[in-house]
Amino acid sequence: MPKYSDSQINGFIDPENNSVERTDKYQHKGLTYIPEGIDMHKFKADDNAKITDLMSSLFFGSQGFFVSNQLNEILNSFILSNVKVYDTSIFFKESILKYHFLDFIRTSDIVDFSNSKFIGDHSSPLMRIGGEEISVLSFEDYKEKGRLLRDEKGFAFELIPVKVVLNYSSDMLQFPFSGLKYVSEKLKQKIEEEKLTGVVFEETDIEFYLDQ
């Protein structure tokens, strides 16, 4: 059996151009958006990679995903608020694969903070004991109360969303306070029906509601 690297996309077709400045644009850990003018057509997949509809990558951290045309077409039939799509090229052996990159725009206006529910608890799910509920009025309030919580109990604690009320609909989203991506049950079912590859779902314990 061939051994696959942890990331399917892990290089450029022009590795001689791997300056620190260039690498920082693609791999900066604090990246929250795709820089303007960045070249999205020189990515290289590992020769031992298994080509899937969603490809893992060393680039852009948790900012988004590389997805196939088939997966992108499915996404086009759903509501994707705050997701920007880039055309990309991935070189694999002697082939050029046409893919897309989903850039998740972390905006706070999708969350109705005052009607959502947060608790102060350990950041690790395995160590949570059920913290006290903390009222949050806005994203700025969320950041400030999170800071006060860490000052009081340590950096391992944060405000955990238990119930999230959305101001508008989106079948795929990322909150400004988390690197996790969430999809609706309808979108999950469609991806599973089409038997698309490279996608793994985990059930969340957050209760989601849409503000009517």
206 contact partners, CB below 8 Å, separation of at least 6:
161, 162, 163, 164, 182
Q: Of the residues 44, 71, 106, which one is the last residue of a structural domain?
A: 106
Judge if 206 and 119 occupy the same domain.
yes
Report d(CA 135, CA 119) in Å as an integer.
8
- Say if 185 falls within a structural domain: no
- Residue 40 and residue 92 in one domain: yes
Query: Considering its fold, how many domains does the chain have in total?
Result: 2
Q: Report the pLDDT value the prediction gives residue 183, as an integer from 0 to 100.
A: 95
Same domain, yes or no: 121 and 93: no
Residue 149, helix vs strand vs coil: helix
Low-confidence ranges of the chain (pLDDT < 70): 1-5, 212
Q: Is residue 36 part of a domain?
A: yes
What is the domain extent for residue 171?
113-179+201-210
Is position 190 within any domain?
no
DSSP notation for 3-71: PPPS-SEEEES-GGG--HHHHHHHH-TT--SPPTT---S-EEE-TTPPP-SEE-BSSSTTSEEEEEHHH
Residues 113-162 have pLDDT tens digits of: 999 999 999 888 788 878 899 999 999 999 999 999 999 999 999 999 99
Are residues 120 and 98 both part of a single domain? no
